Structure 1
Amino acid sequence: MRWVADWHESEGLKADGVIVMGVRPNERLANALQRAGISNRDLARRVNVRAAAAGLNIAIDCARVGRWLKGEHPRDPVPGIVAEVLSQKLGPLTLADLGWSHTGIDPMDPLWSPDGAAHSLHEYARSDLMLSRRDMAQLAVGLPLIAAAERLWWADPPAGTTAPGPAARVGKEDVAGIEQLVRHFRDLDGRHGGALFRAAIVAQLQDVTELLAHGRTSTPAVDRRLRQTAVDLAQLAGWTAHDAGYYGTAQRYWTHAITLARQAGDPGRGAEVMSRLAHQMVYLGRPDDALQLLDVAGRTAAAAHNLRLTAMLTAQRGRMLAAVGDAQASLATLAQAQEHLARAEESGERVEEWIAYFTAAELAGATAVAYRDLHTLHGKPVGRASIHFAAAIEQRGAGYERVRAMDMVGMAAAHLEEDNLEEACVVAGQALDLAERLDSTLIRSRVLTLATATDRVSSHPQVVELHQRLGGWAAPDLHAA
């Protein structure tokens, strides 16, 4: 595919290969070029070389770079390639550092039309595939993130759905096949960790969003069902990006997913994706942000009337309250989650696939992490975390190898904190044997908590070998999970 670079300035519209942003000069791009000591001609050459190496037929010249500096915005994947080229000179850069975003659209804009949201996500997925080893998206945190989450669900979107196009051809059977593929991806992610299959998930998401963007569904009901499938794929793409350590990329997939869930009229899926944003924030050491995101998710979930979803969100809140050190509220909230889950099990309500992972084992794991955080972060021992980790492991079904490894590592760390050194070493050895077979930043982060727990007893004869084995795991840029 050749990316044509014709600029229709008088029209002020999206042209082939560019998005016209007006006449404001791009000062951030100019500053980056000056700091890098790269001329317009040299940047064009480097972009063309990098694009060719990625198998793209892109032709950029120095005049094109000049128009970027005047305010023109190139289409994906060109911005990402420019950021990668300049990052080689200046260190890691995001698109925002260069005055750009993917497709020139705010990735947290809730006012996309149905086809606009699908198109934006399609372009983002395509760019992600082109530059799969880079995280170009700027991470939103604090008030901007909370405000965006509010807007994503509660702002009034344009009405209507994408009208079927002339090539409408996707029917119920086609969507059923894609749904089956999503189940397969979920299973692979749980068994092996997400990094290995991330590109395949993103590629499938790109295909699905292309169908949505061009109105290639046969009926409104099929369109809604395919849009829900796109939500599931975007959630998975975000989760696997998060598991690979691409936090900004994960956030962008999730914000797109929330918009698609709103357009599909599916508050349950929307609230579940919001909980992923909250999980990421507590993982990155921002539990206050996580609690506010869960407030938004809870209001969104109210319309879904799903007891299992309510139980999951309540358990997440209990964990976040532990992270901020509120022991009393954390324990009370976790007890409420137990009650909600019991009602869900007794009610006979349909277990939706997107929330089926939340079981008694998942609740036990959240409780264990809460107990751990209260003790290790805030000096508030409320009970033995190892008991809850053990319960999670015992109740965990087949196919959840990543979370099983995380629970086992957590249990080993808890045994160390509880001075059960012999049991800790046995469990830790088994956990690391399993963890070494999986590709997951989340597991490596959980190992960090175990390495930290061994520090105070590293000279003990029973722990020396374990401490040495952990030396190759605990990278300094990981967060405790």
Structure 2
Amino acid sequence: MVSTRAVPNLAFRRLRGQRSAGEFAAAVRRSAREIGEQVACDARYIGRVESGEIRCPNYAYERVFLHMFPGATLADLGFSPRETVRGRAARPGAAAPPPPTSPLLVPGGDTDEESDVLRRVFMTSGTTAVAATSLGLGIGGTSAVSLPAQRRVGEAEVSAVEKAVRQIRLLDDRHGGDGLYRRASRPLRAAYALLDSGTAARRSTTDRLHSGAGELAISVGWLAHDSGRFEDARSHYAEALATARVAGDAALEAHAFCNASFLARDTGRARESVRAAEAGQRAAKPLGSSRLLALLALREAGGRAGLGDRTGCERALGRAHTAFGRGPSGADPEWMTFFREAELEMLEAQCWSALGDWSRAARHARRATRLQDPHFTRNLALYRAELTTDLARAGLVEEAAETGHQVLDLLDQVHSSRIRTMLADAVTVLTPRAGGTPEVRSFLDRHAPFSLSGV
């Protein structure tokens, strides 16, 4: 039996010299910026390379390392050939994946590196046999999807992946991400086990499997995002983007960039949010979906608002309204069922909120709550939480308290850290104004137990 024990990379360790792992990681990040790459290199990553855990860098890191050490090859840096690390021979004449269309892959993280980490997890979790018992959520009475324990991937396996995506989206619309994320990770691992280990008789089946696995990664990433697990969300969005690049799937790429932009905005990386939204628009342009372009323009507007760029934000909002006004079409992705006029109003409200125009934000948030389909329970709570905060900051404290009560009415059904955080922000604004306003005191008193329990 061949040993799989990691062999330390002494050549790479010598290149570090007297610098600490953290100092060397900083040098890697600087070199990446010089060539338009963005890698999340830290001391831990350097340690993994030197220990031999990372036997070959991903393509982004490869470009950075070869830039740092001109004339060197990967072998000179102590790395193994990529085809031996991936576990299968390279196809004759196969080219390396193209460089990213934007230096930004996923805000604050490095797409390829995080994808490789996840890939190893999926592969070691088993192959198609694992998928046979794992592609199901087992949430709220939902039964697992049974798959044949075989290596050939066909209609049954691909349909199971697509069904898992729909199940997650449906449950998220009703309940939010907090209670779903961990359980949803299991079908995701199973989907990638199929992708890594299975073979399909038809190219169309392979394409559908790539698309389904990528959409599943985005859905699970959104659950992580909604439940405040931002690093997990970043990794899942990165995996989806890598899958899109491998498969040449522009629709999946646009979706991954859309969510990456949203995550960047929520984590205070406004400039990266703009860049991701712009990359998403480039990917989406040939697809023929005006609604997708509208949503991506709104993502850009949110990022520009975060930068304090009012003019740029207004221009992006104008493009969003124009594209939205063209109406739905057959080219609209299935995942965009949530994107209706209510969501358009909500995202615009968040732009004005970020720009400090609270009254204007409240007007749009009111429209969002009035237009929202009550079946989207999570979004109904989200819109009302946004409205509560905007009203509070606009000085309309009694209306804010009334709306806050409506959010609390939904918290037994909706479990979303994102919504709870928004409501807590409104409470912070309202607390100093509680003295002479019975309505506000009533809301704050009712919210207090939620606050003690972590809401």
Query: Structure 2 CA distance, aligned partners of 1:315 and 1:235?
Result: 19
Bigger drift between 203-212 and 460-469 goes to 460-469
CA contact (8 A) 1:187 1:399 kept: no
SS of match in other structure, 2:159: helix
* 2:17 equivalent in structure 1: none
Tell me the amino acid that sits aligned with residue 201 of structure 1: A
Summarize the Cα distance change of 1:7–1:20 in structure 2 as closer, same or farther, 3 Å threshold.
Answer: farther
Q: Give the Å deviation of 1:400.
A: 2.0
1:136-174 Cα offsets, whole Å, 9 max, x none, are xxxxxx97956977989xxxxxxxxxxxx9954322243
Q: Aligned pair 1:96/2:73, yes or no?
A: no
* 2:35 equivalent in structure 1: none
* 1:293 equivalent in structure 2: 276
Q: Aligned pair 1:236/2:219, yes or no?
A: yes
Q: Aligned pair 1:281/2:264, yes or no?
A: yes
Tell me the amino acid that sits aligned with residue 9 of structure 2: G
Query: Which one of the candidate residues 415, 423, 445 is aligned to 1:439?
Result: 415
Query: Which one of the candidate residues 436, 442, 446 is aligned to 1:465?
Result: 442
Tell me the amino acid that sits aligned with residue 179 of structure 2: L
Tell me the amino acid that sits aligned with residue 359 of structure 1: R
Tell me the amino acid that sits aligned with residue 440 of structure 1: S
CA contact (8 A) 2:107 2:264 kept: no
CA contact (8 A) 1:402 1:435 kept: no
Query: Structure 2 CA distance, aligned partners of 1:472 and 1:322?
Result: 34
Q: Give the Å deviation of 1:225.
A: 0.2
Query: Which one of the candidate residues 426, 429, 434 is aligned to 2:402?
Result: 426
Query: Structure 2 CA distance, aligned partners of 1:271 and 1:149?
Result: 17
Query: Structure 2 CA distance, aligned partners of 1:269 and 1:450?
Result: 36
Query: Which one of the candidate residues 357, 360, 366 is aligned to 2:347?
Result: 366
CA contact (8 A) 1:150 1:296 kept: no
Q: Give the Å deviation of 1:227.
A: 0.8
Query: Structure 1 CA distance, aligned partners of 2:210 and 2:105?
Result: 26
Query: Structure 2 CA distance, aligned partners of 1:150 and 1:193?
Result: 26
Query: Structure 2 CA distance, aligned partners of 1:185 and 1:249?
Result: 17
Q: Give the Å deviation of 1:186.
A: 0.5
Summarize the Cα distance change of 1:106–1:430 in structure 2 as closer, same or farther, 3 Å threshold.
Answer: farther
Question: 1:56-455 maps to which residues of 2 (within 5 A)?
Answer: 96=44, 99-100=47-48, 104=54, 167-345=150-328, 348-375=329-356, 380=357, 383-455=359-431
Tell me the amino acid that sits aligned with residue 221 of structure 2: G
Q: Give the Å deviation of 1:25.
A: 9.4
CA contact (8 A) 2:398 2:437 kept: no
Q: Give the Å deviation of 1:384.
A: 2.7
Q: Give the Å deviation of 1:315.
A: 1.0
Query: Structure 2 CA distance, aligned partners of 1:292 and 1:367?
Result: 19
Query: Structure 1 CA distance, aligned partners of 2:302 and 2:451?
Result: 24
CA contact (8 A) 2:174 2:375 kept: yes
SS of match in other structure, 2:293: helix
Bigger drift between 451-460 and 429-438 goes to 451-460
SS of match in other structure, 1:344: coil
Query: Structure 2 CA distance, aligned partners of 1:233 and 1:103?
Result: 27
Q: Please, what TM-score do these two structures have when normalized by structure 1?
A: 0.65
CA contact (8 A) 1:268 1:309 kept: no
Query: Structure 2 CA distance, aligned partners of 1:393 and 1:167?
Result: 48
Query: Structure 1 CA distance, aligned partners of 2:226 and 2:7?
Result: 35
Q: Give the Å deviation of 1:363.
A: 0.8
Query: Structure 2 CA distance, aligned partners of 1:238 and 1:429?
Result: 30
Summarize the Cα distance change of 1:215–1:95 in structure 2 as closer, same or farther, 3 Å threshold.
Answer: farther
Summarize the Cα distance change of 1:150–1:293 in structure 2 as closer, same or farther, 3 Å threshold.
Answer: farther
Query: Structure 2 CA distance, aligned partners of 1:471 and 1:98?
Result: 46
Query: Structure 2 CA distance, aligned partners of 1:469 and 1:117?
Result: 58
Query: Structure 2 CA distance, aligned partners of 1:95 and 1:207?
Result: 31
Query: Structure 2 CA distance, aligned partners of 1:262 and 1:415?
Result: 43
Query: Structure 1 CA distance, aligned partners of 2:87 and 2:176?
Result: 28
Summarize the Cα distance change of 1:99–1:149 in structure 2 as closer, same or farther, 3 Å threshold.
Answer: closer
Query: Structure 2 CA distance, aligned partners of 1:232 and 1:431?
Result: 30
Q: Give the Å deviation of 1:343.
A: 1.0
1:425-457 Cα offsets, whole Å, 9 max, x none, are 221111112124322111122113312321441
* 1:22 equivalent in structure 2: 9
Summarize the Cα distance change of 1:202–1:291 in structure 2 as closer, same or farther, 3 Å threshold.
Answer: same
SS of match in other structure, 1:459: coil
Q: Give the Å deviation of 1:255.
A: 0.8
Kindly report the root-mean-square deviation, in angstroms, between the aligned alpha carbons of the 2 structures.
Answer: 3.7
CA contact (8 A) 2:109 2:234 kept: no
Q: Please, what TM-score do these two structures have when normalized by structure 2?
A: 0.68
Query: Structure 2 CA distance, aligned partners of 1:150 and 1:299?
Result: 18
Query: Structure 2 CA distance, aligned partners of 1:117 and 1:470?
Result: 54
Query: Structure 2 CA distance, aligned partners of 1:204 and 1:180?
Result: 10
Query: Structure 1 CA distance, aligned partners of 2:199 and 2:250?
Result: 24
Identity %, equivalent residues: 23
Query: Structure 2 CA distance, aligned partners of 1:265 and 1:322?
Result: 32
Summarize the Cα distance change of 1:404–1:117 in structure 2 as closer, same or farther, 3 Å threshold.
Answer: farther
Summarize the Cα distance change of 1:221–1:288 in structure 2 as closer, same or farther, 3 Å threshold.
Answer: same
CA contact (8 A) 1:19 1:103 kept: yes
Q: What are the ranges of 5 or more consecutive residues in structure 2 without an aligned counterpart?
A: 15-41, 63-81, 89-102, 114-127, 129-148
Q: Give the Å deviation of 1:203.
A: 0.9
Query: Structure 2 CA distance, aligned partners of 1:207 and 1:442?
Result: 28
Count residues in correspondence: 356
CA contact (8 A) 1:371 1:384 kept: yes
Query: Structure 1 CA distance, aligned partners of 2:396 and 2:2?
Result: 69
